Chains A and B, each alone.
Chain A
Amino acid sequence: MHLDPRVPDGPLETKWSDHQFDMKLVNPANRRKHRILVVGSGLAGASAAATLGEQGYEVLCFTFHDSPRRAHSIAAQGGINAAKNYQNDGDSVYRLFYDTIKGGDFRSREANVYRLAEISANIIDQCVAQGVPFAREYGGLLDNRSFGGAQVSRTFYARGQTGQQLLLGAYSALERQVRRGTVTVLPRTEMLDIVVVHGRARGILTRHLVTGKLERWVGDAVVLATGGYGNAFFLSTNAKACNVTATYRAYKKGAAFANPCFTQIHPTCIPVSGEYQSKLTLMSESLRNDGRVWVPLQAGDARQAQDIPESERDYYLERKYPSFGNLAPRDISSRSAKEVCDEGRGVGPGGLGVFLDFADAIRRLGVDTIKDRYGNLFEMYERITGEDPYVVPMRIYPAVHYTMGGLWVDYNLMSSLPGLHVLGEANFSDHGANRLGASALMQGLADGYFVIPHTLGDYLASTKLETVDTDHPAFTTTETEARNQIERLLAIGGSRTVDSFHRELGKILWEHCGMARSEAGLKRALELLPELRQEFWSDLRILGSGDELNQALEKAGRVADFLEFGELMCRDALHREESCGGHFRVEHQTTEGEAKRNDERFAYVAAWQYAGEDKEPILNREPLTFDNVQLATRSYK
């Protein structure tokens, strides 16, 4: 497979503007003749569908949710970055670019990241114009907070509900287009496969979740904005329905999957409370602006937090990373928490937790200020744990949160399968091996509002598309395959529920492909996963039928894909013999336990190509060149 990133020539600063000028345009009168299939209605999908609709294309927007507004993006709490430099603290497009490249541990593509930083300011303008109620200062101007991995304040926020407000903004733009007749939203409709005709993505196959009806949709281009695959681990901060099916099926149809092992473990989540645990709840990283992370100095110290004197506490992030302190990037903070817990210094039930303490901040700023900044997060914590964080420190522990890996895309956001474009968390493009806080919302909206509306036009204007309808044999075959899979799942009649398989998969991945990975562990996982997959296909029990609302059946399809995909994650993690960002290989660390990157061997994107059932996937490499930043050891000390 030839991977051409199609990065435009010229200096970094003018690549995007020059490219915009060079790209071909679709005549406005011809746009409605092009039908675009957008799968996903989160920040990336809703913003793309709304903007393409505004431009005059015929857009169909699919979501398995009952309303586009419920996409997982709604749950983002902390904020969205933009290089506005409102605080006059030395921020600039270049600094945001640099922070993102460095934060990603030099595993992302310079040109894409620079464009993202450049566009960031327009996003804020757009959202404010839509009525997004970002927090403001008393003078009426927009307020900012700081986030991990940056020394400037460039994060815009709407209380602890930034994702909600941004998504409601994009959703309202989308619904406006529905009213205008340019966009049709198809809720409770799950994409099961991509349809490829003569090497191009020309359609999708869906299942209507209420009636079970399989439907064929033809289009001139397909846009996937289907989110991340963190739920491969079963327990994660993602919404319950997040899954890999859309991107994994695209992979099986020829789109390369890039860096699947780059997953992010978020340092501040509420610890697990029992076996029945169904998901993990994030406590926004913004809390680390004012909360101090600590554990007792002595292992096995079972005293209550308030009974442990200052001199017997270890504020380990402040100690190890004095210049970033509690705002050290996520991968580093998470690993440090694991380390202290492995040393037996963890707190709470099972010793899998560290304190996040607001006592100092409350003393310094007063309860009211803290309430103003984090009130809803504190309430959420209390609701879940029954403990009052104004009085006792929160207990937190790392949890799977975000996936940097995703379908490989070029500069125009097109995958290696022509016609298939990928936006938001579903692609791999901007965050390298580790994403900085408040950058996913930025990326999703940059892709949807500002990149795809231009690059998709270029694709349509420069491609001669043959006429295809839904009777084409490619549609028939795809539908037959999907129907067979559903029937097969229903026919197994075994003894185990789909959740029990999903939990077991999650345990294997967390154990062997989680915060610390080793050759032996990954090889073990690669033995366990096929066994589990086999058991799944012989002992699964799904009741009910395929022509009604059947939530267990929906899940089973998704878990079937997760089971295969988990292997791809482990394979990728095994091949990458270095530590970088969220990928920590225990064999590759410094004597101080910091990650040791290997730029000579691994400064590339690993793009995996499907080779057929039970065949090892093929590794393709896109070399990463750094012309504008110097490859450096990431230091936050």
Chain B
Amino acid sequence: MKLRLKIWRQQGPHAAGEFVSYETADVSPDMSFLEMLDVLNETLQLRGDVPIAFDHDCREGICGSCAMMIDGVPHGPQKSTTVCQLHMRHYRDGATIVIEPWRAKAFPVIRDLVVDRGALDRIIQAGGYISVATGNAPEANGIPIGKDMVDRAMDAAQCIGCGACVAACPNASAMLFTAAKATHLGLLPQGQPERSHRAVNMVRQMDLETFGGCTNFGECSEACPKDIGLEVIARLNADFLQATLKEREGA
């Protein structure tokens, strides 16, 4: 296959960026999208051009490193698939593909397609955990938890923290990411004691990080490679509302 690629090149955080066009021949339909970029990078280096920087690691759709907008869609056209798992058999010979980094104020560009997603870690620091010190845990089978409940918690816990939800959202909100963690923990009995605090603290941190507010576009869930559903947002909103009401009544 032959492809025409338009790729965002930006040398550093403060440099101006631009789209640069590349032609690639010899693309095999069995290649992954990132392998196609690897091959391009080999060619670039041989002709003396600095290779394109992009984040990636597991290449199995689980670490959440890979992140790019492909023709305006986070992770590209295949539903429920990270870009590292996207394969070239989904493209036609001769196609033009536009590749750019996540665009969000809270995710500054570091270089080319690499962005800084540290804000997501700080949201977790604000409350995305159950406070239990090592060695203090009770017997694991002490609290039975219904299979349905654990399955739902697991659905939310699958979030890989890639940031596609933010990139897809017209407001660049991190609500789906935040709500997925709050829901995972909030559905489990172990997560109850801190549930209200968690909701409030995580949402406040999200605002501090300059993510936008959620106005229920639903693009986030559409773009999520792990199919996290919008109901997690409803749950977090409910928790948040209840917690802030309590706060006000207490005040």
Contacts and interface: CB of A to CB of B under 8 A. Distances in A.
Interface in B116-136: 116-118, 120-121, 124-126, 128-136
B65 A449 contact: no
Contacts of B12: 548-549
A339 B204 CA distance: 60
Interface string B21-60: 0000000101110110011001001101111010111111
Contacts of A70: 57-58, 63-65, 161
B125 A67 contact: no
Interface in B158-188: 158, 160-161, 184-185, 188
For the complex of A and B, the 10 pairs showing the least CB-CB separation, nearest first, are A140-B144, A172-B129, A129-B137, A125-B137, A128-B140, A133-B154, A239-B57, A51-B134, A179-B125, A549-B111
Contacts of A450: 134-135
Contacts of B70: none
Given A51-B134, A137-B147, A386-B30, 14 more contacts: A67-B118, A69-B64, A72-B57, A125-B138, A131-B184, A140-B147, A142-B141, A158-B154, A164-B62, A172-B129, A172-B130, A277-B35, A282-B60, A380-B60
A50 interface: yes
A129 B138 contact: yes
Contacts of B89: 386
B63 A75 contact: yes
Interface in A537-555: 541, 543-544, 548-549, 551-552
A140 B129 contact: no
A75 B118 CA distance: 21
A140 B142 CA distance: 10
Contacts of A127: 140
A65 B64 CA distance: 11
Q: Is the interface of B mostly helix, strand, loop or mixed?
A: loop
A158 B12 CA distance: 40
Contacts of B118: 66-67, 187
A276 B35 contact: yes
B138 A549 contact: no
B250 interface: no
B72 interface: no
Contacts of A549: 12, 53, 110-111, 114
B184 to A, nearest CB: 7
Given A65-B65, A126-B134, A139-B144, A497 B58 contact: no
Interface of B: 11-12, 28, 30-32, 34-35, 38-39, 42, 45-46, 48-51, 53, 55-65, 78, 80-81, 85, 87, 89, 110-111, 114, 116-118, 120-121, 124-126, 128-141, 144-147, 150, 153-154, 157-158, 160-161, 184-185, 188, 190-191
Contact of A142 (B116, B140, B185): B140
Nearest to A52: B134
Contact of A122 (B56, B87, B135, B141): B135
Contacts of A136: 144-147, 150
Interface residues of A, number: 81
Interface in A69-128: 69-70, 72, 74-75, 84, 86, 122, 124-128
A72 B64 CA distance: 11
B167 to A, nearest CB: 15
Given A67-B118, A133-B184, A450-B134, A276 B158 contact: no
B117 A67 contact: yes
Contacts of A135: 150
Given A74-B63, A239-B63, A66 B55 contact: yes
B60 A281 contact: yes
A241 B56 CA distance: 9
A368 B214 CA distance: 36
B24 to A, nearest CB: 12
A635 interface: no
A384 B34 CA distance: 13
A138 interface: yes
Interface of A: 47, 50-51, 54, 65-70, 72, 74-75, 84, 86, 122, 124-131, 133-142, 158-159, 161, 163-165, 168, 171-173, 175-176, 178-179, 185, 187, 210, 239-241, 273-274, 276-279, 281-282, 379-380, 383-384, 386, 449-450, 453, 495, 497, 499-500, 541, 543-544, 548-549, 551-552
A75 B58 contact: yes
Q: Which of A135, A139, A379, A549 has the most CB of B within 10 A?
A: A549
Contacts of A499: 38, 42
Q: Which of A122, A133, A134, A541 has the most CB of B within 10 A?
A: A133
Contacts of B135: 122, 126, 449-450
B38 to A, nearest CB: 6
Contacts of A138: 146-147
A383 B87 contact: yes
A172 B53 contact: no
A158 B28 CA distance: 35
A548 B118 CA distance: 18
Given A125-B137, A548-B111, A130 B129 contact: yes
Contacts of B116: 66
Nearest to A210: B110
Contacts of A179: 125-126
A51 B121 CA distance: 19
A128 B190 contact: yes
A65 B124 contact: no
Contacts of B129: 130-131, 172-173, 175-176
B222 to A, nearest CB: 18
B229 to A, nearest CB: 16
A128 to B, nearest CB: 4
A89 B95 CA distance: 58
A129 B136 contact: yes
A465 B50 CA distance: 46
B150 A133 contact: yes
A325 to B, nearest CB: 28
A66 B35 contact: no
Contacts of A383: 61, 78, 81, 85, 87
Given A130-B129, A499-B42, A66 B117 contact: yes
Given A133-B184, A175-B124, A278-B34, A240 B59 contact: yes
Given A66-B55, A499-B42, A386 B87 contact: yes
Contacts of A126: 132, 134-135, 137
Nearest to B55: A66
A544 B55 CA distance: 18
12 contacts: A65-B57, A66-B65, A70-B58, A75-B60, A128-B190, A133-B153, A276-B28, A278-B32, A278-B34, A449-B134, A543-B50, A548-B111
Contacts of B188: 131, 133
A239 B55 CA distance: 12
A567 B11 CA distance: 37
Contacts of A140: 144-147
A173 B31 CA distance: 38
B190 A129 contact: yes
Contacts of B117: 66-67
A430 B137 CA distance: 25
A136 B184 CA distance: 15
A383 B32 CA distance: 10
A54 B59 CA distance: 33
